[in-house]
Amino acid sequence: MVEWGEKAFRAKQVFEWLWKKRARSFEEMTNISTALREKLSAHYSFHTIKPDLVQKSNDGTIKIGFRLHDGNLVEGVLIPTAKRMTACVSSQVGCSLSCTFCATGYLKRERNLKHYEVFDQVAIIDDLARKNYDIPLSNIVFMGMGEPLLNYKEVLEGINHITHPDQMGMSPSRITLSTAGVTKMIRKLADDGVRFNLALSLHAATNEKRSKIMPINDTNSLEDLVEALNYFYDNTGSRITLEYCVINEVNDHIEDAEELAHFARQITCKINLIEYNAIDNAEYLGSSGNRIDTFAKHLEKRKLIVNVRRSRGKDIDAACGQLANKN
């Protein structure tokens, strides 16, 4: 601004329009002169994301297809409950990890999202929460499309904008990043002293079983994950969440529960058992409610903290594992 012959405080005004008032164009910056707005437009562009299709589930869940500036599409979800208003956001266009039970895993990874595209997802979902429920977002989970730790720099920069007190101002303790288990980057999170929560998509607790459904396990074994997760906990004091989709006849036997208990006892954690949602590309089926409850009780007998997460948004393919650009 100073180089352009403007007052230095104009920079702060533009900054606030971008990150606090969430402007989508220079025309919205009404406390800046028309001449300066035109100059900004001539030199810079907004690579905004736009809701392409918004679908509302019978249970109130809202799925948003976000059209990116280059034509690519990612999906996000607003999950309303009695106590929380949660945004589930994406970190990549597609995914490279090829988990066999996840719809996104069957897509090609086109590119990483930029930090402002991460931020914009949250901002738009927050607007939807306020418009539909008159309640702002309370929580954010990076459990949408892509592996966040394979887009480390942009995801963390996006989170910095989301949590900065002069920007969106969300508490880091309200944010959970979910990873399929990139051990090197889990350690980097610890070294960087992050203050948000970490979840591991586990889904099987032996190397043989996990590698069958999650190829990433071939290069990031359970033994390495235990070391990395303990390193994360020792450096941050933040308890790990283990996510476990319960898949019929794949990982839902009592033997599997015992293997999960053995893994969980090696780290400071809690366990979320998640109803599995069928997808077109795979023949897996979700376990019955009774089978999940039996599985949970076995873990509880082992003195572990267990929550059962019932699926939301199944009727619009917005539930866990179903995001696949069907829009």
**Residues annotated as catalytic (active site), given as ranges:** 75, 320
Do 190 and 231 contact (CB within 8 A), yes or no? yes
Contacts of 309 (CB under 8 A, 6+ apart): 272, 273, 274, 275, 320
Report CA-CA distances (Å) from 36 to 48, 64, 119, 160: 20, 34, 25, 28
DSSP strands (E only) in the chain: 50-56, 62-67, 73-80, 85-88, 92-93, 111-112, 139-142, 175-179, 197-201, 240-246, 269-275, 306-309
Please work out, in degrees rounded to the nearest 5, the angle formed at the alpha carbon of residue 82 by the alpha carbons of 179 and 275. 45
Burial of 113 (0-12, 13-18, 19+ CB in 10 A): buried
CB distance 310 to 56 below 8 Å: no
SS3 (DSSP) at 327 = coil
**Cβ density class 265-282: b for 16+ within 10 Å, e for less:** eebebebbbbbbbbbeeb
Please name which of 227, 256, 253, 258 lies closest in space to residue 240, comparing C-alpha atoms: 227
Using CA atoms, how far residue 173 sits from 111, 190, 307, in Å, is 28, 15, 19
Closest CA to 143 of 85, 190, 193, 76: 76
